[in-house]
Structure 1
């Protein structure tokens, strides 16, 4: 297991990046798509555990896995969490009623593998919620300096990892990001054995996030 990119920015992420208001509706989308339930809800790439209050407020018992030891330093008191790889989750097949992945799909080199692993650990009928940056309107190809007139440049189809970013206040310029097109992302759900049920977008006037609720077939 290697050192995670987020180890170097964990303190900034917790004390500065997460300190502002949730202008793009991440917590709202997570809550609406996950819905009330009970039993363990695994957050894949839980980071500092900042989203645990949302799942707990819905009746679930949050647990987490993340590769970054630096980020996991902030999880005590929020949720029990283990250091682990999102493509090799430390849970038995078919053991969990729910799992979520919040704002991580650009952080991993192979998100389709993460979806396959999420499907493996879910019970039949178990719910999976993805909340991520919008494939069409966020990325190195999207200049969002003026929220009223987002400029989309060539690059959407490239699928490249990059640190190029329109802002120095976000994550991409610090740790880099991968990119999946919208069809590529949705195909990965289908290939993982997940049946898509609902979609949501967050942020305005041009959406910054895209969310999916799916179930294990």
Structure 2
């Protein structure tokens, strides 16, 4: 496989971007994952697991985390946290209908083919299996949004464009380094439906303007006929 965009920043991501953070969950990523995934058992696949920082939360819910990511650099840090495989999110090395749960946490903007990723999640889930998406909020995060003042987020033109960009309000984050794909809210939610997933619950995180939108979806039961 060709080098992934995150390979070049994997050490910075682990040691500085994540290493300098405490456990306060300021924008509600962990809380959203806990609320929407919930307690369970069996293997939970994380698509785009990165350095594996969400594995502990998955374990605390009674599930067994495994991860897949395109970046060998990120997986170097993940291997101490969960079993991992290097692979394309649009073609995960997992048998169809074999899993009870799949998650994707803060990665959909890294995946220009996210509708295909959702189809893969639906493929590997067994009927009534759960998929949890936790991502940056489409309406308030992106190249069109200036979050320099958290009390007054400025939304400029560009929300409806649905484009890839390295534009960012800060040079201390990830997006100015690797870029991001933007999905307006209708395009994002419609991609779940197009993948054959049933939307079930939603939550937002971050104050006073949400920075996170999370979705729980489910693979429908197989039809009797």
Residue 137 of structure 1 corresponds to which residue in structure 2?
Answer: 140
Give me the whole-angstrom Cα distance separating, in 1, the residues matched to 2:90 and 2:172.
29
Equivalent in 164, 177, 182 of residue 179 of structure 1: 182
Give me the whole-angstrom Cα distance separating, in 2, the residues matched to 1:136 and 1:2.
32
Residue 49 of structure 2: SS of its match in structure 1?
Answer: coil
Equivalent in 196, 215, 219 of residue 216 of structure 1: 219
Answering whether residue 29 of structure 2 is matched by residue 26 of structure 1, we say yes
Alignment of 1:48-67 (within 5 A): 48-67=51-70
Give me the whole-angstrom Cα distance separating, in 2, the residues matched to 1:214 and 1:121.
14
Give me the whole-angstrom Cα distance separating, in 1, the residues matched to 2:31 and 2:86.
27
TM-score, structure 2 normalization: 0.95
Residue 54 of structure 1: SS of its match in structure 2?
Answer: helix
Alignment of 1:1-217 (within 5 A): 1-19=1-19, 20-21=21-22, 22-217=25-220
What is the CA deviation profile of residues 89-115 of structure 1, one whole-angstrom value per residue up to 9, with x for unaligned ones?
101110000000000000011100000
Unpaired runs of 5+ residues, structure 1, are none
Residue 159 of structure 2: SS of its match in structure 1?
Answer: coil
**How far off is 1:168 after superposition?**
0.7
Give me the whole-angstrom Cα distance separating, in 2, the residues matched to 1:77 and 1:179.
31
Moved over 6 A (4+): none
Unpaired runs of 5+ residues, structure 2, are 221-225
Give me the whole-angstrom Cα distance separating, in 2, the residues matched to 1:214 and 1:204.
24
**Aligned residues: CA RMSD:** 0.7
What is the CA deviation profile of residues 54-84 of structure 1, one whole-angstrom value per residue up to 9, with x for unaligned ones?
0000000000000000000012231000000
Give aligned pairs, total: 217
Give me the whole-angstrom Cα distance separating, in 1, the residues matched to 2:131 and 2:191.
13
TM-score, structure 1 normalization: 0.99
